[in-house]
Amino acid sequence: MQNEPADWVDPDTVGLYAAIGIRKGQPFAPDERMKKILTEAVAVANTIARLNLFASCDPRTRIYSDRQWLTPFMGGGYQFLDGAERLLDARMMFFYYATGITPAMAEAKPGTGSAYRDRAKSPAVQGGDG
């Protein structure tokens, strides 16, 4: 953050960072209380993100209704939008799965980009997966 322009992200994101003590031009120096809170938050967030990838409850992730194949590209693109709604769980799912994204990654058209599909569960665990 210190090496980025002041407006590198939107004001809401800057506000989220500031809420935990991350501010441009200032050292990040959380006290022991904040370190404990952040450590616990990381553990919870990691659990949520992992469950979201391996066992999403959102039916829009399913490629087939009777199988475990899924896609994080709900909304059909790299911006994870459904109209004006940002699909936060879908975006989290992809970033946990692949750590980053570019517009070309979301293009699932033959001959361009990549089509990401995943099967994170064993058919034996799920009782079959044709």
Using pLDDT thresholds of 50, 70 and 90, give the confidence band for residue 53. confident
Rounded CA-CA distance 18/12 in Å is: 10
Phi-psi region of 16 (alpha: psi -120 to 50; beta: other; left: phi over 0): alpha
Model pLDDT, residue 90: 87
Using pLDDT thresholds of 50, 70 and 90, give the confidence band for residue 48. very high
Model pLDDT, residue 124: 52
Rounded CA-CA distance 109/115 in Å is: 8
Q: What tens digit of pLDDT does each residue of 63-72 get? A: 888 877 787 7
Model pLDDT, residue 28: 94
Q: How many CB atoms lie within 10 A of CB 42?
A: 10
Q: Are the beta carbons of 61 and 54 closer than 8 angstroms?
A: no
DSSP one-letter string for 46-75: HHHHHHHHHS---GGGBSSTTS--B-S-TT
The yes-or-no verdict on residue 101 having pLDDT over 70 is no
Q: What tens digit of pLDDT does each residue of 4-41 get? A: 887 888 899 899 999 999 999 999 999 999 999 999 99
* pLDDT averaged over every residue in the chain: 79
Rounded CA-CA distance 101/118 in Å is: 16
Q: Are the beta carbons of 103 and 78 closer than 8 angstroms?
A: yes
Rounded CA-CA distance 64/84 in Å is: 26
Rounded CA-CA distance 23/16 in Å is: 10
Q: Which residues contact 64 (CB under 8 A, 6 or more apart)?
A: none
Q: Nearest to residue 93, comparing CAs of 127, 62, 125?
A: 62
